[in-house]
Every structure is written in C-alpha cells, then in structure tokens.
Amino acid sequence: MYIIGGTASKTVAEDLSKELGVSLADTISKRFPDDEFYVRVIDNISGEDVVIVQTTYPDPNIVELFLLQNAVEEAGAKEISVVIPYFGYARQDTKFKEGEPISAKALANLISLSADRVVTVDPHKEYILDFFSTSAYSCSAVPELAKYLKQKNIDMVLAPDKGALERVKQASKIIECDFDYMEKTRIDGSTIEIKPKKLNVENKNVAIIDDIISTGGTMAKSIQELKKHGAKNVFVACTHGLFAGDAVKKLDSAGCNEIISTDTVQSKFSKVKIAPSIAPILKELIGSV
C-alpha cells in the first residue's frame, strides 16, 4: 500500500503515512512554462492499494488531483482511495438560481471516475457525499479542534449559526464547557447579518467554531457581537481556513484573540493536524492497512 500526497496536501499525506505506518510514494512534479501541471509517480504501485491525498482548493489543485488519479490508474493500482481534506465547491450544492451548476456534484462526478472510495473532512453539508458515484465518507475535525481549545480555558463554545450547533455541542463535551449559537442571515457572498441575541458571555473566554472561514465576515460579525456582550477573549476555530482577501485583517480588527484552523488547507493558522481524524476511517475502510 502507498500514500501519495498532492502538492496541496503534502503534510497531511506525510502525517497519514506515519499514523498508518504506510509508505509515502515518491512523485516528481513541475509546472510547464505555460503553467500546465506535470506529475509522475516514481514507485512501482502496480497491484497496490493507493491513497491519494489532495485538497481541491484552489482550482489548480483540482486538475492536479485528476492527473494523480489518472497516473495511479494507468500504473495499475489495485484500489484507489481519494482523501480530500478540503472539498472545494461544496457550498454550491444546489441550483440556487436557474442556470447555475451544482458545482459540488460536477466535481464529485469527475473525481468518482477513478476512485474506489472518497474520504473528506467536514463537508459543508453531509448530503454532498451522495453526489459521488463511488463510496464516499466523511470525518469530523471537531474532536481535534476541541482538544486544542481545551488548553485555552474556554468557558463557552459558540456556533455562528444554528446549522453549526451539532458541531459545538460535540466540542463542548470534550472541552467540558457551555455551548450556544448565534442567529446568522446571509445577505450575499460577502455580507452577513448576526441578529443580536442575549448571550451570557461577560468576562468569559469564548470560542466560535465553524466549518469554513472564507471572507471572515461571519466570524468578524460574531466576534463584534460577543465583545459587545463583554466577552473577555474570543478565539475563532475552523476546519477549513481559506482566509480569502482581507479575512485575517477583519478578524484582527474585530478583536479576535487567536485564529485556529486545521491543515486541510495549509496556512500559518494550521495549528491542528487533521491526519488523526482521517487515519481511523482509512483503517476501517482499507483491508490492507
């Protein structure tokens, strides 16, 4: 069995190889002068179970995943498992307006063509797993995020909207603290409204947990609301830290005390490793691990 890390997920692949005691396959990759991608798997993977690890964000990493899948298939791998730490495009999971694509489905269809199974982490909505025509599974980063937050003397965990309530409930059990949620309305891609709500956070250390931080708008508004209510320290934690545009500046200006993300998308805020959440599910799914 071999693990192959795409350029977006090298660290996760290395961590998985250690967690599972499985070799990391050697690859070489480069970009041609016109920016097209080239990859070659050096090890002989014929007849082997192969796990490809690659986040599908930003866009060039999607093409890289397709090329890796094809390389592994052409090399005669026995079974191909695709681990997608962050499944980009998952938020366009329906036609919100006539004429739009179901982007999550489009991607899932293509990935399924050369995959015996797919594992992803905290997909925006669990039902997107049904878009894959191969077996698809998810795992949660919440236990690992909660373990990190437990060291920060958190008094309360908050979900920025009701949809994320289950996540904070689970985290609160591990941290052994209270939980609550805020009421968010999305106006458009970059504008959201957090309804004022009575929150008992005076002098408390509060952590807001979400699946994604993209523009930082959701978290910034939530931090402002918490500070208004007298929160002492506000931590923001997410599984997938995209930090688009001036997201970090927005969080800092709102008074955020610490930004925490996993390494599904690698950044300087990737303080929590995701491999320990993925390894057990691979162990269960692949006989040869």
Q: Which residues are catalytic?
A: 184
What minimum distance in Å lies between the beta carbon of 216 and ligand R5P? 5
Residue with Cβ nearer ligand R5P (5 or 216): 216
Residue with Cβ nearer ligand R5P (5 or 217): 217
Cα dihedral 199, 203, 205, 207 in deg (nearest 10): 20
Beta bridge partners of 30: 38
**Footprint of ligand R5P on residues 204-223 (CB under 6 A)?**
210-218
Residue with Cβ nearer ligand R5P (55 or 215): 215
What minimum distance in Å lies between the beta carbon of 276 and ligand R5P? 23
d(CA 19, CA 15): 6
What minimum distance in Å lies between the beta carbon of 217 and ligand R5P? 4
**Footprint of ligand R5P on residues 142-171 (CB under 6 A)?**
160
The secondary structure of residue 40, as a DSSP letter, is E
Is residue 260 near ligand R5P by the rule CB under 6 A? Answer: no
Residue type, 16: L
Instruction: Decide: residue 137, CB within 10 A, 0-12 exposed, 13-18 middle, 19+ buried.
Output: middle
What minimum distance in Å lies between the beta carbon of 160 and ligand R5P? 6
Tokens 């997608």, residue located: 84
Contact in structure between 185 and 192 (CB atoms under 8 Å)? yes
Q: Contact positions toward ligand R5P, by CB under 6 A? A: 160, 192, 210-218
